[in-house]
Amino acid sequence: MELPLAPSAAPERADAARNRERILCAAQRLWAERGVSCTSMDAIAAEAGVGKGTLFRRFGDRSSLALAVLDVRERALQDAVLTGPPPLGPGAPPVERLAAFGSAVLAFTAEQLDLVLEAEVHSGGRWMRSAPQAVRRLHLQVLVSAARPDCDVEYATDVLADALSAQLLAHQLREREMPLERLQAGYADLVERLLG
């Protein structure tokens, strides 16, 4: 979560770092134990032994905190995409990579649905601009462009990104009770139809 956009960014003070870690741990623990929607920010601050102000200065708001908690796992996924074995990693044809990417993201999101929902939904469009989402989008766009440059690449990318949203996934998984495997297959089919 440290964002040293410029290398000249001031280093973090020791107590600040310690508190950040404590908050992250507390959030992870409480959200896992009591559920995301049943855990207030006050409770997290208290669990971390920290004032409310500290929490909010560090993380801005609730959905950003969720994003920060997700960040570690997200990096693992990014690594697998950038340097892992095909078809998720480089080496396979674009359409196959897209299907594999969809599968991976769906699985990732399904594993921690509530958390991703928190980050994605209650953030007034900030989600789309968040770092991990931007990376995902870029990856999709590159592959779409490689598979079928003769179409509206941006629009196709939007559709493929949106089909992986936590909201849609939550609806499909919980309301319509569609199993994950079916959604993964459906996404693969969508990719094939759209770009194949």
Partner DNA sequence: ACGACAACCGGACCACGGTCCGCTTCAACC
Partner DNA sequence: GGTTGAAGCGGACCGTGGTCCGGTTGTCGT
Distance of alpha carbon 9 from alpha carbon 110, whole angstroms: 36
In angstroms, what is the minimal distance from the CB of 40 to DNA?
3
Helices (H), 90-179: 94-111, 113-121, 126-129, 131-147, 153-162, 166-170
The answer to whether 121 contacts a second copy (rule: CB under 8 A) is: yes
Chosen from DNA, a second copy, none, partner binding at 60 (C-beta under 5 to 8 Å by type): DNA
C-beta of 13 vs 176, nearer to a second copy? 176
Amino acid letter, residue 194: L
In angstroms, what is the minimal distance from the CB of 72 to DNA?
21
Chosen from DNA, a second copy, none, partner binding at 83 (C-beta under 5 to 8 Å by type): none
The answer to whether 189 contacts a second copy (rule: CB under 8 A) is: yes
Residue 92 pairs in a beta bridge with: 90
Is-contact 136 149, C-beta < 8 A?
no
Chosen from a second copy, DNA, none, partner binding at 10 (C-beta under 5 to 8 Å by type): DNA
Tokens of 81: 């995409």
Is-contact 28 69, C-beta < 8 A?
yes
Distance of alpha carbon 47 from alpha carbon 173, whole angstroms: 32
Which among 120, 99, 101 is positioned nearest to 170, based on CA atoms?
A: 120
Taking CB under 7 A as the criterion, which residues in 49-68 touch DNA? 49-54, 56-58, 60-63
Chosen from DNA, a second copy, none, partner binding at 15 (C-beta under 5 to 8 Å by type): DNA
Distance of alpha carbon 125 from alpha carbon 123, whole angstroms: 6
Query: How open is the CA angle 100-161-1, to the nearest 5 degrees?
Result: 90
Site map for a second copy, 158-177, x if CB under 8 A?
Answer: xx--xx-x-xx-xxx-xxx-
Amino acid letter, residue 17: A
Task: Provide the binding-site residues for a second copy, judged by CB under 8 A.
Answer: 121-122, 125, 128-129, 151-152, 154-156, 158-159, 162-163, 165, 167-168, 170-172, 174-176, 178, 182-183, 185-186, 189-190, 193-194
Task: Provide the binding-site residues for DNA, judged by CB under 7 A.
Answer: 10-16, 18-19, 40-42, 49-54, 56-58, 60-63, 122
